[in-house]
Structure formats: C-alpha cells, structure tokens
Amino acid sequence: MKNSLSFIMPAWPLITVLILVFILSSVANARVSPKLGVFQGVTSLHSENNDAVGEQYLAEGDFKAYYYKQTLDHFNYRPDSYATFKQKYMINNKYWGGKYENAPIFVYLGDEAPLGNSYRYVGFMSENAERFRALLVYIEHRYYGESIPFRSREEAFSNASTLGYFSSAQAIADYAAILIHIKKTLRARYSPVIAVGGSYGGMLASWFRLKYPHVVLGALASSAPILYFDDITPNDGYFTVATRDFQEESQSCYETIKESWDEMDRIASLPDGLSILSQTFNTCSPLSDVDQLKDRLVGIYSAAAQYSSPLVTLLCQGIDGAPQGSDILTRIHEGIVTAYQGRFTCFPVTFDGAKSETYEGWSWQTCTEMVMPIGRGNETMFFPSPFNLTEFNQQCKKSYGVEPRSHWATTYYGGRDIKLVLERFGSNIIFSNGLKDPYSSGGVLEDLSKSLVAITTEKGTHCMDILNSNPTDPKWLVKQREEEVKIIKGWLNKYYKDL
C-alpha cells in the first residue's frame, strides 16, 4: 500500500494561479485526499506576566506581529507541561474604537499552514473593520509557521512524544489564552470577540465558540466540514459533489473523465504502456506506474471543483474542444493544457510535497484525531478507492507509532444529531457553504436554531465569502456577505444591550 497520508490542506484559493499551485502540490498517492484550509495597530502589548509579548519583529503598514509566551500543554500538570514556546499573532488597530467604547475584536483563527500573509487575503476581516470599529487579530496555529514548540522544527516533528502536543484542542486553548491576554493588556475586558475561520480554521471557529463561549461571542465558520467524521457523512460525499460539478458543466466532459480511468489501466498493461502514457500526457518525468498519473488527475479535478468553478469550465472546454477524432486520453490532456493556459511546458506528476509544513502537519493531525473518512465508491466519475480504516490505522502506526483515535472528534466536539443537541445550548455561529464545494457535503446546511444559522450559495466554492471582495463579484456573493454582516451586527447589538 502506498502512503495513505495524502491529506494535503490550504493555503489561499484566491486566484487561478494559486489553484494551479495547489494542483501541482498534490502528492500522487494511493489515497489522494483533498486539501482543506482557506487557500491557504497596538504599539505595545508588553506585560509583566508575559515578557515575550511585545517583541515586535514585523511592522508592515497597519499590521504588527508579536510573539506570545504560550504554554506547551494546557491539559496536564506534569512539570514538563509548563514549558513554553513563542506563538505568533498579528494585530491591526487602525479602526479600533478602543476600550472605552468596548469596541469589538475580530480574530482570524489560523489553520494548517503558516500565518504568512493571510491578513492580506481575509477580506471579511479588513473590509468590515471600519464599520464595526474592530480590532483585528490573526493567530497562527501551533506547529505551523513560526509557532513551533521545542527548540526547532526538526525536534518538534522528530517523534510522537514531541508531536503529542499538536492537536485542535490545544490550538483553540492557545487562541483563548492569547485573546484573554490581549484583552487584559488593553484593558478591553468587555470588548466582544468574533472569530472567523475557513475550512479547518472554520471548524476551529465553530468549536471555539462551543468550547469557550466566555471568550468568543460568535463565530463565522466558512466551509467547515464538521460533520465529515465517523459515519455522519457518507464516505464518498466529497467526490459525489465534485462529480456533480463536472456533470452540470458538461455531460460529455463527465463521461470522458469517467471512461478515462479504464483506458489508462488498459494502456498501462501494454508492454510499453507507461512510456505511451508519459508521451500522451507530456509528463515532465517518465511515469513509474499508472497510479501516479491517475492520482494526479484526481487531485486536479477535485481541486478545480473545490476552489474554482471557472477552472472546471476550462477543463471541460479543453476536453470537449479537442480535435475531432481525438481518443479519450488525448481529450483529457487537452483539458489539462486548456486549464493550465500554457503556464507549463510539461505536465508535472511528481512533487516533493512531503517537505511542506502543511503536508507534515496535517499528516500528523489526520493520524491522531482529524480522521475524515473520505473515499470513492462506484457512483462517481472517479475510479473507486473506498476509505479503509484498518489500512489507514496501519499506515499511521507505521509512520508515527500511533493509531488514529477515529472517534475522538465526535466525542470531544459532537456532531451526531447536531440539531437536537446544539439548539439546546449552542448559539451565535454562522455556517457558510458554497454548494459547489465538495466539502459542503460534510457541512451544516440547515439552520439549527435562530442563532445557529446556515447560509448556502448554489454557485459558491470553498471559503469564497471570507476572501477579499472584488468589483466583479456576483450579486449572490455580495448578498451572502451582507447577510453575514447583518447577523454579526445583531449579535453585537444584543450583547451591548445586555451589557
């Protein structure tokens, strides 16, 4: 069995070029699982109780970055649990109304990638800061970017003992500690906090509101598949939606893709089959086996469905527009060429993605608690590849010496009978999903209560609502963002009235 840990997740699905980067970073594995994630001014925050805070290392425009002296283990009282590491967060106070107004704090919860320039792209935060007079805070997830426990990244990722502090529960506890510290330092005790996150970060935002309601007033959870655990969502839900996206775009395109897998296997079985496939697809290096090609194509199709309806259109235009008489695989290749729009001279089928922080980090997270059983059955346009928990556990045991706790996410955060449960104690969460996003199959698509609201858009893709707005945005996207703003304004108005 090949490496099953191909849960490669975001960075920023902002423009087609970035989507293509994602496509190229998909590692060819037996289990190609779609990437998560969104795409991926205070002058001093010095505190006697946290002498690492205030060590400013970046000041770019209205954004300033700081380190927080974070506790290694929030849930254990062993002496070694009291060790600390520097956790990065950024602040923009340009529009903040200040402590005397009890002006709100908008916090972006970092996901499975370095914080990087995310503050540039989370338009929902910056574009609404002035109207709400909000302080903007961006926090990096532990074990990503510069927020690395222990003395180095190599040591932190060296074995399961040092990786054992790497979990979503620790992450949202980190967020709570930093926000409490910021509010204390700024003497902004009554400034309400609104959390924003996308994809895995959206999952964290919803869970943060449920676990820490005394810290965060409400959450916008964009494209958050919190129901893609255990058997709550059908295993092939993701690829069923991806298939529907292509079929709605073009029936002939869908049929060509569906028929192509058997044709690849047929040619690969010939004496010189791999060489023929390498030439047909103009691969940058000779194929070592047919799965290498098939898995890369699965990555391309799923990324296109998840992040960009225009890219689905381009792929199908190329497939359907191939010269008359072209065979199936030539049509597939024409689709790729059209989608790439001449950006590459050959088709890259190998990529050393295992060195990326997102791959390394998310591989560990999926081998412990974030077990999303995504597989493919016989009813999609893709070749079958059912999720096999036994094999997955074996691979994780081989890689890390630990087995996944496949039921822990639903045990710790819930998910089953979600409406029956959350309408009794949950509140103030927006679950937003674009229905063209395959991950919407694991999202909350119906209101759970008056304040646990689902906003869906038929043409939306992954995390579109929280990214920067554009003058060419369709009306439905503009309306979606306006509705989210209206809901958050209602939360704040009620809070201030109660206060």
Q: Confirm whether 165 is domain-assigned.
A: yes
pLDDT-derived band at 354, boundaries 50, 70, 90: low
Looking at the structure, tell me whether residues 145 and 180 fall in a common domain.
Answer: yes
pLDDT-derived band at 421, boundaries 50, 70, 90: very high
pLDDT at 36: 81
Question: 373, 405, 437 — which closes off a domain?
Answer: 405
Q: Give the residue numbers spanning the domain of 222.
A: 60-230+411-498
Question: 378, 405, 432 — which closes off a domain?
Answer: 405
| 25 pLDDT above the threshold of 70 | no
Q: Confirm whether 36 is domain-assigned.
A: no
Looking at the structure, tell me whether residues 222 and 241 fall in a common domain.
Answer: no
**Residue 301 and residue 311 in contact, taking contact as beta carbons nearer than 8 Å:** no
Q: By mean pLDDT, which of 15-24, 277-286, 457-466 is the weakest?
A: 15-24
> How much is the pTM?
0.91
CATH number at residue 355: 1.20.120.980
List, for residues 335-351, the tens digit of each pLDDT value: 999 988 777 889 988 76
Looking at the structure, tell me whether residues 338 and 440 fall in a common domain.
Answer: no
Question: 362, 382, 405 — which closes off a domain?
Answer: 405
| 80 pLDDT above the threshold of 90 | yes
pLDDT at 382: 98
| 35 pLDDT above the threshold of 90 | no
The domain total for the chain is 2
Q: Confirm whether 43 is domain-assigned.
A: no
Looking at the structure, tell me whether residues 141 and 280 fall in a common domain.
Answer: no
List, for residues 129-138, the tens digit of each pLDDT value: 999 999 999 9
Q: What residues are labeled active site?
A: 199, 437, 462
Between 59 and 163, residue with greater pLDDT = 163
Q: Confirm whether 424 is domain-assigned.
A: yes
| 116 pLDDT above the threshold of 90 | no
CATH number at residue 420: 3.40.50.1820
